[in-house]
Structure 1
């Protein structure tokens, strides 16, 4: 996470029922996630030599795990609109680690993530195995990363990235950064690629702070995960797929980023003013 901050949210204390839920849900999540990881690796042994960079089978395993995870944690979950049929990428607002489950459950995608995520305990190995593309924050790596994105897109991967560049409190959409959009304006990709904006909305449990599922500032992953697992009655998550737009309909990356930001923010019923 970045140092973007807002007023702190008080994290609820975990009671006896909460600890029981943590044990039950945590065990079920671990069994499903790491059990399917073994299946994933076995399938990948066949998939890689046959198809190379393309992955026609394993994304279905990832999607199944993420749908199961949302069910295990007790979330209400709904999807409006449809993932695009065209080749291209998805951009979405970013709330936190839960977006991994929320967005993978809705579509078979490959995340573009900051390189430090690769070293996170537990999550890092899952991200690497499932094809996450890691990017560095160094400007000197920009051209290399742009080429990586081009290669993945040409292989038919549906890349998903968060132009805000950081997780948020869930009720705000931050201004979109434009560098990653540049990959779609090189070597003719703009003539064949589409971008689909997606709005993700987390509704807090009844009576809770609207920012309940937000993960920002100095919140630790462990504490936030514990809070979510211990919640008796979860809220719900909505995923809104907006119509995809052709990249060549925009003059440059700034126009494309501004369009996506406006669409996502306008559709978010909880979002505050820009910035």
Structure 2
């Protein structure tokens, strides 16, 4: 995404760096097992890819299970309760979600086999970039001038049977709102040589702050430092929770174009976020 696409708030929550031995003990008690699982499984994934790639090429029938295990384990180590509502789609297509935090990677990967679509600069980030590349993330520049080449990448991955997930807002927010969905990436689903039976599933991700904390506690946006925010989450004594809400998939043959598709998905995600923030979860039917 370009810098002017970044969402900014009038004020940012306090980071509350670890203070004292108890805080640092809590950080280490969570960080050490998380690091062992993340990087241990990363090594296993890379070794398995040496066998998987020659046999299956772009398809990854085995390694996504490792990614899901890591992401599910992360919530256990962090102490954040994850609740899933609705059912992840089956078959070929993509998912779209609102974007709140680096925690979205764990929240969304824990429930389904997906491949993220991310801004290109993430590939160069230490730690996160390595993990993203290893797990098959699609890296793009959010530039309208590159829409055609981006569509070609999407088509290639969709034809390979990958279920892509992207954030149509184009930026992360504080989690209290859903920004208008950008329509450019939706055009890729209307390529002439893609099957008409493809579906797009809207997903709402809603974080509930620990009791007594700022409602934006888990939000990570604008110029917030990852390391500082990561420590803030690790040091928290009692954690909050996250709702992941899967809405009914939208069939492409029922929607006439990228703008209409984006609008339908945005409405579903927006309603899911509003409902969850009122603690009035109604699992989607269908």
What TM-score, normalized to structure 1? 0.95
Say whether residues 1:187 and 2:187 are aligned partners.
no
Equivalent-residue separation in structure 2 for 1:91 and 1:206 (angstroms): 29
Say whether residues 1:213 and 2:218 are aligned partners.
yes
Matched with 1:169 is 174
Matched with 2:13 is 9
Matched with 1:56 is 61
Q: Equivalent residues in 2 for 1:73-222 (5 A)? A: 73-189=78-194, 191-222=196-227
Quote how far apart the aligned CAs of 1:20 are. 1.1
SS at match of 2:244: strand
CA contact (8 A) 2:17 2:231 kept: no
Equivalent-residue separation in structure 1 for 2:14 and 2:212 (angstroms): 13
Q: Deviations over 1:108-141 (max 9, x none)?
A: 1000000000000111011001100000133332
Equivalent-residue separation in structure 2 for 1:195 and 1:135 (angstroms): 19
Unaligned runs of 5+ in 1: none
Equivalent-residue separation in structure 1 for 2:155 and 2:214 (angstroms): 41
The CA RMSD measured in Å over matched residues stands at 1.3
Q: Deviations over 1:70-100 (max 9, x none)?
A: 1101111111111111210000010011000
Q: Deviations over 1:5-42 (max 9, x none)?
A: 11222222422222111112111111000000111011
Q: Deviations over 1:125-179 (max 9, x none)?
A: 1100110000013333221111110010011001000000001101111110000
Equivalent pairs, count: 271
Which deviates the most, 190-199 or 149-158? 190-199
Quote how far apart the aligned CAs of 1:104 are. 0.3
Equivalent-residue separation in structure 1 for 2:144 and 2:242 (angstroms): 35
SS at match of 1:195: strand
Matched with 2:261 is 256
Unaligned runs of 5+ in 2: 279-286
Moved over 6 A (4+): none
SS at match of 1:95: coil
User: Given the alignment, which residue of 19, 22, 29 partners 2:24?
Assistant: 19
